[in-house]
Amino acid sequence: MGPLLGPGQILTLDSPLALNFNLAEYFSWSTDGAESVFAATHNSAPIAAVLRGFELLLPFQVVEKMWLVLLLFLCAVGASRLPYLEESGRFYAGFFYLVNPFTYIRFVSGQWGMLGAYALIPFAVTSFFRLLEEPSRKQIAIFVLLLTLISHLQIHGLALALLVVGSLYVANCAIRPESFRRSLPAVLWSGGLFLLVNSFWIVRFMMSGGGVTKNMPVGELGYFSAFPAIDVISLRGAWFSGAFVDISNLVPVWWVLFLPLMVLAVYGSISMWENQRLRWLVLGIALAGVIGMVMAAAPGIKFVNGLFTLLWEEIPLYRGFRDTHKFVALLALAYAYLGAFGLQTLVEKVKLDATSPRWAPLAASGVFIVLTAIYAMPIFGVWGRVKPTNYPDDWQTVRTMIDDDPEDFTVLVLPWHMYMGFDWLPNRWNNLANPAPSFFSKPVISGDNIEVPPNHSDSSDPRSKYVEELLGRRESISNMGQLVSYLDAKYIVLFKTADYEAYGFLQRQNDLQSIFEGDSISLFRNLTIYSTTQITEIPSFSALPADLRR
């Protein structure tokens, strides 16, 4: 991460969506965020609030980097403290879980909510293990706290954590049926306490009725699926990985590096299975890894993807995992833990071999650590693909102008895209999720349309549908200010990127005033803004009074 610690903010693909900085909406009883395309990180608002608090002491770019260093540190610590690991095994588990292709792609793409949830899953596994071994109120409280933190980092992480602990519990009951009655009360209490503590957001998500997942066409399953299967097995294959450096770009025979690591995990599985006391644990972890591999890779395999297409069509919640590569987190956990146990078993055998030189155990550990490091090469400095930067000066000027207005209003941000390329970004790939919601302090209405062909938008937000309808009629509109007053939009910001030239109609509006023109941004003031008390609902264009539809 060294090169990223320089001056500036880290901006890459999904980083503007990593945390929910819309604190006012979250802490009000609104389901807008829960049913939007930003639902995955909607719960992260309390964490964002804590980081905002640190901003009182330090610049945000420093707070951001401290946060990322903490997440990476937790990846290593959590995995190193998994049950029954010692010395070389602990080091290997922590190192592998920290530096592997899954961690790399989530870090370099700015999916830091997913990275945070991934970092805490090993802690949850260890806590659940202790809960099964020695049920107590303390262990219940710790386990529920960890699940709560995971759910507030990213909702997908909660599903993954539950898959792991569910696999462990099934394996525990299958291998040690006598422990079922002893552990069941603690498991039920944990479930009940979690539902109680998290009812604030669970009820909100239930009220949203599925939101954005209802609008996802089945074609998105193929578009976002991890592929090919061999890449998934090796922890790679994310749908967007081509935009970043992959180990295959650096080492054509990358499989020579990965194969020994996979064999080590298989060896660890066999070693654990030979120990009667550990059978349930290896079965649970291996089961979770297999589930992760199948759920990630199968939708991209022709002869079995029909089943997953059916799941997509019948179970809206499954659509939330359209980026199936997220399931690879479970496989990474399995490789890290089982490989670590395999390494410590191998080292122990080498130590007991009287014919082995004294340096042999260290050499055995070193070989697998070096293989892991080489296989994960792209993560070191992210190979120059992402560089710290600052928002342009004209963006800062516009933000100040808007902040200086004491009234309550929203800001409409155009062009209407959820992802756009920005020339001022120093990254090799300058595509970025619309940064407006996290950049501006005022409430923002911006593009939430992922634009996967042939579907233009998955949004279920009536405000978005209204804006899209207006933009579809842009050539015949002369009163845009009056029309966006229904959104309480006092200002319109235009980023000079993507198809911004198609928004020249803003200059022709009778009720918009251009008040700032910069190299990369423009600002318009709405001269006919209504007060929020006059707006009862957001209509469709066709439902507007005739005198407005001009």
- pLDDT at 533 (0 to 100): 44
pLDDT digits (tens, 9 = 90+) for 140-199: 999 999 999 999 999 999 999 999 999 999 999 999 999 999 999 999 999 999 999 999
pLDDT above 90 (res 54): yes
pLDDT digits (tens, 9 = 90+) for 93-117: 999 999 999 999 999 999 999 999 9
Give whole-number Cα distances, 409 to 27, 481, 490, 491, 507, in Å. Answer: 18, 13, 6, 8, 21
Burial of 185 (0-12, 13-18, 19+ CB in 10 A): exposed
For residues 21 and 396, give the distance between their C-alpha atoms in angstroms, rounded to a whole number. Answer: 18
Confidence band of 287 (pLDDT split at 50, 70, 90)? very high
- pLDDT at 355 (0 to 100): 85
Contacts of 281 (CB under 8 A, 6+ apart): 83, 84, 129, 168, 171, 272
pLDDT digits (tens, 9 = 90+) for 356-393: 898 998 999 999 999 999 999 999 987 778 999 999 99
Residue in this structure with the two tokens 């899954």, named with its chain if needed: 102
For residues 537 and 466, give the distance between their C-alpha atoms in angstroms, rounded to a whole number. Answer: 11
Report the candidate in 466, 473, 476, 515 with the shortest Cα–Cα distance to residue 494.
515
**Amino acid at residue number 302:** K
Q: Which two tokens stand for residue 67?
A: 């946060």
Query: 328-352 and 155-175 are packed helices; what angle lies between their axes, rounded to 10 degrees?
Result: 50
- pLDDT at 195 (0 to 100): 97
Lowest mean pLDDT among 51-60, 72-81, 82-91: 51-60
- pLDDT at 461 (0 to 100): 82
Report the candidate in 175, 192, 204 with the shortest Cα–Cα distance to residue 275.
175
Q: 10 Å Cβ neighbour count for 349?
A: 13
Report the candidate in 415, 434, 550, 536 with the shortest Cα–Cα distance to residue 485.
536
Q: Which two tokens stand for residue 79?
A: 């995995």
pLDDT digits (tens, 9 = 90+) for 291-308: 999 999 999 888 888 899
Q: Each residue of 36-50: b (16+ CB within 10 Å) or e?
A: bbbbbbbbbbebbee
pLDDT digits (tens, 9 = 90+) for 407-422: 999 999 999 999 999 9
pLDDT above 60 (res 41): yes
- pLDDT at 33 (0 to 100): 62
Residue in this structure with the two tokens 């207005």, named with its chain if needed: 405
Residue in this structure with the two tokens 């496989």, named with its chain if needed: 331
8 Å CB contact between 319 and 152 = no
Q: How much is the average pLDDT of 13-31?
A: 82
Name the helix (H) or strand (E) containing 354: none
Burial of 464 (0-12, 13-18, 19+ CB in 10 A): buried
For residues 182 and 172, give the distance between their C-alpha atoms in angstroms, rounded to a whole number. Answer: 12
Give whole-number Cα distances, 468 to 90, 142, 266, 446, 462, in Å. Answer: 53, 46, 52, 11, 10
- pLDDT at 21 (0 to 100): 86
* Helix, strand, coil in percent for the chain, rounding step 5: 65, 5, 30
**Radius of gyration for the chain, computed over Cα atoms and rounded to the nearest angstrom:** 25
Q: 10 Å Cβ neighbour count for 307?
A: 10
- pLDDT at 277 (0 to 100): 95
- pLDDT at 38 (0 to 100): 75
Report the candidate in 461, 423, 425 with the shortest Cα–Cα distance to residue 444.
461
8 Å CB contact between 150 and 120 = yes
Percentage of residues in the chain having pLDDT higher than 90: 74
- pLDDT at 549 (0 to 100): 56
Domain ranges (residues) in the chain: 2-384, 393-543
Query: 155-175 and 180-197 are packed helices; what angle lies between their axes, rounded to 10 degrees?
Result: 170
Percentage of residues in the chain having pLDDT higher than 70: 93
Confidence band of 532 (pLDDT split at 50, 70, 90)? very low
Report the candidate in 228, 220, 232, 225 with the shortest Cα–Cα distance to residue 313.
220
Confidence band of 29 (pLDDT split at 50, 70, 90)? low
Phi-psi label, residue 224: left if phi above 0, alpha if psi -120 to 50, beta otherwise = alpha
pLDDT above 60 (res 535): no
CA 200 and chain centroid, separation: 21
The answer to whether the Cα torsion of 223, 227, 229, 234 is positive or negative is negative
Confidence band of 2 (pLDDT split at 50, 70, 90)? confident
Residue in this structure with the two tokens 């490789």, named with its chain if needed: 335
- pLDDT at 531 (0 to 100): 46
In terms of pLDDT, which residue wins out, 40 or 510?
510
Give whole-number Cα distances, 328 to 100, 114, 146, 148, in Å. Answer: 11, 12, 20, 21
Phi-psi label, residue 164: left if phi above 0, alpha if psi -120 to 50, beta otherwise = alpha
Burial of 549 (0-12, 13-18, 19+ CB in 10 A): middle
What pTM does this model have? 0.94
For residues 512 and 480, give the distance between their C-alpha atoms in angstroms, rounded to a whole number. Answer: 7
- pLDDT at 145 (0 to 100): 98
Give whole-number Cα distances, 348 to 51, 125, 247, 260, 389, in Å. Answer: 44, 25, 31, 18, 48
